[in-house]
Chains A and B, each alone.
Chain A
């Protein structure tokens, strides 16, 4: 065949086209792991995360992916194993869902201070009880204060791209912190969509090898990791992780620019995505696959002459506080839809609404009302009519008609 005799130099010049495939968000992340040439994968089944481990094991079984695939005896071990592998220089992948993620909590808490660039997929799932499979964001959000980077994606394409971005961000020497990609259970983990899969050559160009440098645990670099320390060390160690969060936004911005340059797909502002906000009076804001019904609802309301837009928060940690506050201060009111809860929080709102209010208090000149809406829990659908009701309340707030600071949507009662 002609291609076999083609000189190497010439072959390099050939423009490599993306391949298109109909795959789920979980499968997209599995393919990203293959492309990223991940060294160690640990697995323990829990729905909906387990689909990703099934896909990876399939890739390994088919000889398409070469990695250590370790089925652990529980999530705690699952995350401990990758933690240790990462300290020894391996690129790692793991993940979990709901209470599985919580069972790994001890391992999750120690990884940021140990500067472990672990990439995990959280198939968002309601925390027990009641036992439920559906999406809720409280699982991934449980690590929000600990130094993890947290991002929510809304499509299989974005899942694949973000997984590649995740390795580049987490393994940047300025970072070296764990990163979790949240995928809404069912809506994303189990829904197949058309995805452009980049070539291994492109990915190789984008993703340098993981170099742990002087933090590598190796007989040739004798170090001791994770000793016990007294009160005269801990504050300084926390300050080191704080410094990472100070740098995080810049690193993420750089990596997205590089991604766009190599793969050609544009994500614009990495931290949040705006939909029909240009002339909007009010906006709704949320994370994850809520964006689909939100876009539909926005278009419907626009047809009715309501000037409403939608903002999808892509990165929760780092939280682009000043930037999002600056963006949102031009609207008359904001409605935050939380697929989570934060019982007993100020105003009894969800996590995102509470964080956003904090960002707006210091970062915006106008401080428009921020209404909180809790809904879609346990995998319940957030419908277009639900979102229309949300928007009505936000418009009322914009007009100065007092609204409750927290409302439940899609609730029987």
Chain B
């Protein structure tokens, strides 16, 4: 058998669909310049994509047809030579559309191979979220603003070619920088993109991550039942009704806490989370009523505490909240856990409000957020800024 390589791109559904597809296609086409063969495909199960849902795209490259078939003879590669994470908030784990529990981003990565993360954070910060693993691996950070776009509109901010440059550095056996430069020149016809790829290549480096280093969080998972043990009629037992909410600090009972599915949490879809000011909340109920996932607990004093395992970060609560800065969506990379905000507030109101003030400082106003395509001209405004960050490295 000849040489076989697999690259996995973990991306945010909808926002990075085109980007991920472009990268895996480009890998195959660039490698083909060197006489290699390959295929590029998305994980079909993730296909009816939802906003932000962790999804995967793959490139498989081989030296010859038969070796390529070895790689194609499975639904998706069980082991990959390189994993690229296109949004650093995915480092908290990927729960794809199917029920697999939470997977670490290096789930399929071969021992000793490289994990590339597009991020503005440094390695120690990322390793607080990337889960531990038993085998060592390499971590490389491609400095850059997370590239999000809409379903049908692609933001051409050079993330694709920069990732290609990093891949050529991390795994030159799959594709060389020369082949990538040739591909960009011939197919993308952009000398500026050649420079971006080359710069990324030059600057990219990895650090060794030792076995056992990283986030110690236990990943939630579950066993798929045998067919005889499954309910028939394609039916699922509903969640029991919720019950009263017990204040974690005062012990006061009241409000309402809905029952939630312990096996299907949605937080890995989240790229931003609501931060709630319980002191200014007018108890108007709008966030609670409009939340599509019943993510809010009604506290004993009738304020609304978001359950951060159930929240997928859509931001509807922020949009409907009538009080200035009472609910603010903040980028998920600011947070390391899913603990209750209300509990923190009840324990020490002053400390919480100080934390809140500091935390929402970094929030990007709705009209400037990069999730999706909001208005004509948006990307022309955003791209130079992203390129500048990339240029500085």
Q: Which residue numbers of A lie inside 8 Å of B, CB to CB? A: 87, 113-116, 176, 214-215, 222-233, 235-237, 239-240
Contact = CB atoms under 8 A, between A and B. Distances in A.
Nearest to B225: A236
18 contacts: A113-B233, A115-B232, A115-B233, A214-B231, A215-B231, A215-B232, A223-B235, A224-B238, A225-B233, A226-B235, A227-B236, A230-B98, A230-B99, A232-B224, A233-B224, A235-B227, A237-B234, A240-B227
Contacts of A113: 233-234
Contact of B230 (A87, A116, A223, A240): A240
Contacts of A224: 235-236, 238
Interface in B229-278: 230-240
A5 to B, nearest CB: 50
A345 B206 CA distance: 60
A116 B100 CA distance: 29
A230 B97 contact: yes
A232 B100 CA distance: 9
A162 B232 CA distance: 26
Nearest to B233: A115
Tell me the dominant secondary structure on chain A's binding face. Answer: mixed
Contact of A237 (B224, B230, B240): B230
Interface of B: 45, 48, 75, 97-100, 224-227, 230-240
A30 B63 CA distance: 69
Given A115-B232, A239-B227, A240-B232, A232 B99 contact: yes
B103 to A, nearest CB: 14
Contacts of B98: 230-232
Given A230-B45, A230-B97, A236 B226 contact: yes
Contacts of B48: 228
Tell me the dominant secondary structure on chain B's binding face. Answer: loop
Contacts of A236: 225-227, 230
B234 A225 contact: yes
A342 B299 CA distance: 65
A114 B234 contact: yes
A233 B233 CA distance: 13
Contacts of B224: 232-233
A355 B226 CA distance: 31
Given A222-B239, A223-B238, A239-B227, A215 B233 contact: yes
Contacts of A233: 224
Nearest to A231: B45
B44 to A, nearest CB: 8
A266 B154 CA distance: 72
B341 to A, nearest CB: 30
Given A230-B45, A237-B230, A215 B235 contact: yes
Nearest to B98: A230
B232 A176 contact: yes
Contacts of A226: 234-235
Q: Lowest 9 CB-CB distances: which A-B pairs, in order? A: A222-B238, A236-B227, A230-B98, A115-B233, A239-B227, A215-B233, A224-B236, A230-B45, A223-B235
A227 B234 contact: yes
Contacts of A222: 237-240
Contacts of B97: 230
Contacts of B234: 113-115, 225-227, 229, 237
A224 B233 CA distance: 10
